[in-house]
Structure 1
């Protein structure tokens, strides 16, 4: 038996069917496999690598969150979930838990073993479509974390960030590849939405309500753009 690959801890209800599943995994993976009750007060006991497999069919969201909290600070623990209903269910679980692998109730035993082998080797196990949806979700979440209640757009947030750096309307136009007229229109909308009257008030409002705004693209400085970039239309959104 290969002890170096770690062990699998199956968090689920203990019954005869579970025991058959454990016996199959133990034989196929050639590593220790144990079952833990979802409600047990379990804590990591040593530095051994362990894959914790949560049974979504026998655990509430609250219980899964508790197991997630137990594993986040231990780099030797890998968290995955199985018996998920579909990709939507998996996306909801991944948005709440730091899962490195997901398995559906429809997955075959050989497929589950293949995925567990990958997870034990330090890889991720999920479909490409699920990964794409998760990345899109995280991007939207990151953007929304910077969007205040008043409804500023991402472009308006970029402009507020540039105001804080002391950029003039001309500087902002060059950096965002828009016209100064467009910048003035954005500033008018910003001032109206956050109910301020000038640039200083807008910057102060941003510092009080946004903390650190999303970083604008500051790598393009005035006068350093290429001739091709300068020839592009500058009176619209990008």
Structure 2
């Protein structure tokens, strides 16, 4: 007797409302996935089987808090694709991508049909972004990123901004002021950075930066500014 196919789960992380419930019902009907509304403050429970997709409502989770939120996910969901919807424009998309390793971006104006197609693509481990956004990202990575080390350490653009400021001797408070973040968010980013580069404190992190990046450390903040004017 053949086993039934595992049903994929889509978590819509947003505030619960009649509108969001209708949105979830539509996605469930048209994607044939298990769709679950998830308040940003609720703990996510990993599904027993099937793939999972985290669909983040950028109207209710700011892009700067995404790393902190993602860190609280169950370990079994850490590798699940993360996508954001209700993205306003290109600059908002680039800002979101600088803060978290998003696999998909859905603009506010996109149709429900397009969102359903994107969900299927993301669950098949594909990227889902507009051609224009992909072009901008390719230009950005070619011009301003050091591809020799980024795949090895898996740092996001925001984390590279923080490492750049850390290497210049900035304190948590100074980093927070420079990047318009809270100190709590900076601490969360540093925790993720230390985990990724396998160090336990700032001194070890500075040694790692000196040994692995040295003088070639890119100024990601300047790069992003130049990219937006491109």
TM-score range, shorter chain: 0.5 to 0.7
The one of 135, 138, 163 equivalent to 1:135 is: 138
In the TM superposition, what whole-angstrom CA distance separates every residue of 1:167-192 from its partner, at most 9, and x where no partner exists?
xxxxxxxxxxxxxxxxxxxxxxxxxx
In the TM superposition, what whole-angstrom CA distance separates every residue of 1:150-172 from its partner, at most 9, and x where no partner exists?
xxxxxxxxxxxxxxxxxxxxxxx
Aligned to 1:22: 24
Aligned to 1:103: 106
- Name which structure has the greater RCO, CA cutoff 8 Å, separation 6+: 2
Cα-Cα RMSD: 3.3
Deviation at 1:123? 1.0
Q: Kindly report which structure 2 residues correspond to 1:1-238, keeping only aligned pairs within 5 A, or say none.
A: 3-44=5-46, 46=48, 48-70=50-72, 74=77, 77-139=80-142, 140-142=144-146, 210-212=210-212
Q: Which runs of 5+ in 1 are unaligned?
A: 150-206, 215-238
> Structure 2 vs 1, CA of residues 76 and 92 (structure 1 numbering), >3 Å: closer, same or farther?
closer
Q: Which runs of 5+ in 2 are unaligned?
A: 148-159, 169-206, 215-230
Conserved 8 A contact 1:71-1:77: no
CA distance in 2, matches of 1:213, 1:82: 34
Task: Give aligned pairs, total.
Answer: 158
Q: Which has the higher helix share?
A: 2
Conserved 8 A contact 1:95-1:134: no
CA distance in 1, matches of 2:10, 2:124: 12
Deviation at 1:45? 5.7
CA distance in 1, matches of 2:70, 2:10: 16
Deviation at 1:65? 2.2
Q: Report the TM-score, using the length of structure 2 for normalisation.
A: 0.58
Q: Report the TM-score, using the length of structure 1 for normalisation.
A: 0.56
In the TM superposition, what whole-angstrom CA distance separates every residue of 1:168-217 from its partner, at most 9, and x where no partner exists?
xxxxxxxxxxxxxxxxxxxxxxxxxxxxxxxxxxxxxxx99842458xxx
